[in-house]
Structure 1
């Protein structure tokens, strides 16, 4: 038995061995209990409960931010530095990375992908609030397009066969957020001349037979005057007519009478009755988007090719959410879709049209000013003699005209020589190629099989090679069914012939261009040789000014852009 006396004077009996554990190196332990007794035996001893007079607990220590930064700097400086394996990528002047592939420093930039006519795409960094008009202007600059206006972004869903033209004021990122993750939707960049065409020719887009009688409350205004008045105010007359509607979860279509008003789309439950008790609301226009349907016959079994649909604007594209409608003619479908747009956007659409028209006028004025300024700094010179001499503007224009005509004659002559047998020499007394030979001349005979057609047209955007008739109609329809839209293609049925596809009154018409030979020279004609042209370029330039046998002059070439 060991007896231990503490500093308080009490005697404690401890059974078994014990050891003394000292804490600290100073003599502060003398002020209180300084020994800790650890029992080494498993037998519980008879100990009296001891309570220390002072018990010190650990307290949290407040660390200042300055100390934290200092510690971080000390630890980071102590770490070994890792060399950069690609130092050239960190230097912007010498960086090989393509401009536009690296995200900008601003956090509100987002990457979008836009496809062109050639299935190639271009990625762009745009802001969150970028509109379709701003994205089109950016693509025009990056793709180096010749003109600034009439371009549009198209929302395209290939699997569903749906497409629509984004309005100029619509936010592109807001449209993309409505797409589901598994959707195959994409944005297309192409021409759309018919975006605001109903403001220019309203009678063509809104026929009197489709205007509702209730649209004219006074019954004393002509339909044409009513349409123009409403369009100037950003509104639209009420539209009525029969449409084929696809029944839900069935392939059958039903003919129903519809009425389109500002308040929404209504269907009649009793024939063509417009009484309120017979009208049933189908959709609210403010929450809908209107799409044109491509290949409606094949995808949905539509009764005609003039199919369109409406769907909720903020919901993904699902078959159960689509309201498929089919018109009897292209004129009727265009009327319905145009009225949908006008009723939904109203004055905003008219403001977009005014802004687009003023921007186009400003661009033309700027181009003319730049050309006048460049011409003012140049002087026409003639170097045909031994020494150069200054010539007047009128003389320069005549020289330019003569050179253009001789160049065309040489090109046509080379084309004929390449296809003729050796030893045959063309007649040198053929008329010039500067203008078309009018009526009254001798009709030319059909071209020989050995004559090679001129290839001057191959480098122009309105020539589309060997596309089919259906493909040509689709191209014209995609870029807008406006009067004067045209393209030229190779004929698939007649050898060495071409076809001029022209849009007139919302329909695409096709005119055969036949090569004919006269006096050893080859020409082109659309009226059996009454009017002939040296090449297709001359034919296009002539009909851009003169209508000729066509119903309208050539105005808008159907072009494609490569991104």
Structure 2
């Protein structure tokens, strides 16, 4: 007997076969169950906040890592992907926060968080800085010299096994205290703690510790990270470098500013040339500023429809830049610098609180935060900005920042990374 039509109805991973073929020795409809081997992807919603309070709900897979989620947020927010973005586990009721390691599963971490806790999307330039400059992060006795087979010397970090006596980190994580003095009566502002994963709402199970300065706290917290994750941290550090040649769906062009990616150029001749002399570079920057002002003035004289007068434009054009943070306090600027990593050259600009016509450059150098006032000065009827009492003058703050990214001048180091806040 010829077989009849077979309909398959699938529901989840289970399918049902109805109206199977009949044979002469069997009467009635045959119903059989079979297991579908197709993979099933379970999606989960995760809410992520930015520094300005905006948030975005992202649908992710259960096996998505913190690095993958950061790349997804970078792609959707049209940010520059320079591998310095991080996901922060923030517990406001406990006054704790930490940066997730790149390999950690987001869904698993969220399962240990209380309802008041949340994820933050933030820059952290110091995430792997200890691999680049270990001496700046650890005391000399924690750094050893290892003779390589090729005769060169490489600095390696000793695994701090003595810390095992202090805490078992298998089911715990290391957090920094946001306001340790106020909330836990800590003796200094540089507190940190070991938080077991089972602790959600009560501070009873926290193991509180305190350092005398920021550098000591960073050293101890980095040592705890190395103790818990070991070589995984180094692998996380190496992955972005190994992926440079591979384009992913979330990749964006990297336009990070560094002392090696910006050079002063002279295009006055038939071909361009790199200006290597700092004095000549400074002169070229000033000449470009004068030329820009002359062009703007000429356009206004000729009846250009420019909405702003050149002198007005130079005082507001910087407000479009990510490195300008407006009317924030000195304490807030220091907090932002600390949050985004105490690395050399990390900076931001803000309005001065003491002088309404001035600005302040907040800069990190050797894990110390310093402030430099930028004052307006007038020369030949033109308004300029300077942070060295008028010896070096700039038409606007954008030109000033561009110059000090190339030359440190009176600063302790060049401007390298700018603090940024992105709205999700």
Give the alignment's TM-score, normalised by structure 1: 0.57
Aligned alpha-carbon RMSD (Å) = 3.6
The answer to whether the aligner puts 1:335 opposite 2:219 as a matched pair is yes
1:531 aligns with 2:408: no
Distance 1:360 1:493 in 2: 46
CA 1:175–1:471: 2 relative to 1, 3 Å:
same
Q: Which residue in 2 is equivalent to 1:356?
A: 240
Alpha-carbon separation, structure 2, partners of 1:508 and 1:174: 36
Alignment partner of 1:290 is 2:174: yes
Deviates more, 1:310-319 or 1:516-525: 310-319
Give the Cα–Cα distance (whole angstroms) in 2 for the partners of residues 346 and 122 of structure 1: 33
In the alignment, structure 2 segments of 5+ residues that lack a partner are 1-26, 33-38, 148-152, 255-268, 275-284, 301-309
How far has the Cα of 1:285 moved from its partner?
Answer: 2.8
Q: Indicate whether 1:458 and 2:334 are aligned.
A: no
1:515 Cα offset (Å): 0.4
SS at match of 2:234: helix
Distance in 2 of aligned mates of 1:65 and 1:149: 64
2:406 to 503, 520, 545: 545
Deviations 1:246-269 (A, max 9, x none): xxxxxxxxxxxxxxx25x444xxx
Secondary structure in 2 aligned to 1:304? Answer: coil
Residue of 197, 201, 205 corresponding to 2:133: 201
Distance in 2 of aligned mates of 1:332 and 1:321: 24
Kept in 1, the 8 Å contact 2:180–2:191? The answer is yes
3-state SS in 1 of match to 2:204: helix
Q: CA deviation at 1:458?
A: 0.8
User: Post-superposition shift, 1:561?
Assistant: 0.7
2:314–2:395: 8 Å Cα contact kept in structure 1? Answer: no
Match of 2:53 in 1: 119
Contact 1:311 1:321 in 2 (8 A): yes
CA distance in 1, matches of 2:77, 2:55: 11
Aligned residues: 352
- State whether structure 2 residue 117 is matched by structure 1 residue 230: no
151 and 108 in structure 1: CA distance in 2 versus 1, 3 angstrom threshold? same
Structure number with bigger Rg = 1
**What are the ranges of 5 or more consecutive residues in structure 1 without an aligned counterpart?**
1-63, 70-104, 222-226, 239-260, 267-281, 369-391, 416-432, 434-449
Deviation by residue 1:107-164 (Cα, 9 ceiling, x = unmatched): 4111111111221111111111110011011111111112342110000001111110
User: Which residue matches 1:174?
Assistant: 108
Change (3 A) 1:367 1:137: closer
Q: Deviations over 1:211-255 (max 9, x none)?
A: 46xx87xx999xxxxx95434xxxx354xxxxxxxxxxxxxxxxx
Q: List structure 1 runs of 4+ shifted beyond 6 angstroms.
A: 401-405, 412-415
Structure 1 residues 534 and 298: CA distance shift in structure 2, 3 A: same
Cα distance in structure 2, aligned partners of 1:553 and 1:526: 14
- Do the aligned residues in 2 keep the contact of 1:412 with 1:535 (CA within 8 Å)? no
Shift of 1:293: 0.7
Contact 2:71 2:81 in 1 (8 A): no
- Alpha-carbon shift at residue 562 of structure 1 (Å): 0.7
**Contact 2:80–2:252 (CA under 8 A) maintained in structure 1:** no
Cα pair distance change 1:289/1:403, threshold 3 Å: same
- Specify whether residues 406 and 335 from structure 1 end up closer, same or farther in structure 2 by C-alpha distance, changes over 3 A only: same
Superposed, which structure 2 residues align to 1:214-225 within 5 Å?
none
Match of residue 190 from structure 2: 306
Number of the residue aligned with 1:479 = 340
